[in-house]
Amino acid sequence: MLFLCAFVLTSTICFGQLSNQIMGSWTIVSLKYTYPNGSMFEKHEFKYPTLKIFTKAYYSYGNIYNDQGTLDAAGGGRYSIVGDTLTEKISYCLNPDFMGKESRFQIRIENNKLFESGTLPIGLKIEEEYKRIE
């Protein structure tokens, strides 16, 4: 039931050690979302995987939400890292409100865990923790 995307492998300019550490496959272990109206949602247990995959130049993500492997969120594009800021340039996505936009996250990687925090183009503030699976 793993969600995999085909990537065209090209190179990009990324700065710092984080660009090397982020490459690989990650699965979410916790999340906290704050909506524009101030309401919050937290989750720490996941029956189905949410995966995020980084190559040298591209990222992709997918969220499976049922036993049939149906996606409720998926997308990807190019990314860059400068310092501890990850910028994702969204070139494809199930949600048309994200198309052609950028998301910026503060990130850190510790003990094979990726921590992201930032605001999505729709105003949703996110804090996500992933663990490396590859």
Q: What is the pLDDT of residues 103-132, one digit of tens each?
A: 999 999 999 999 999 999 889 999 999 999
Residue 41 maps to a domain:
yes
Closest by CA to 114, choosing from 93, 94, 89, 131, is 131
Residue 2 maps to a domain:
no
Residue 91 maps to a domain:
yes
Residue 9 maps to a domain:
no
Query: Can you name the residues that pair with 117 across neighbouring β-strands?
Result: 106, 127
| DSSP for residue 43 | E
Q: Count up the domains in the chain and report the number.
A: 1
What pLDDT is attached to residue 89? Answer: 96
Query: Can you name the residues that pair with 60 across neighbouring β-strands?
Result: 53, 76
Token readout for 27 is: 């699965």
0.85 exceeded by the pTM? no
Token readout for 101 is: 């936009």
Q: Which residue segment(s) compose the domain that 45 sits in?
A: 18-132
Q: What is the mean pLDDT of residues 48-61?
A: 94
Query: Any idea what the CATH number is for the domain that residue 114 is in?
Result: 2.40.128.280
Residue type, 111: N
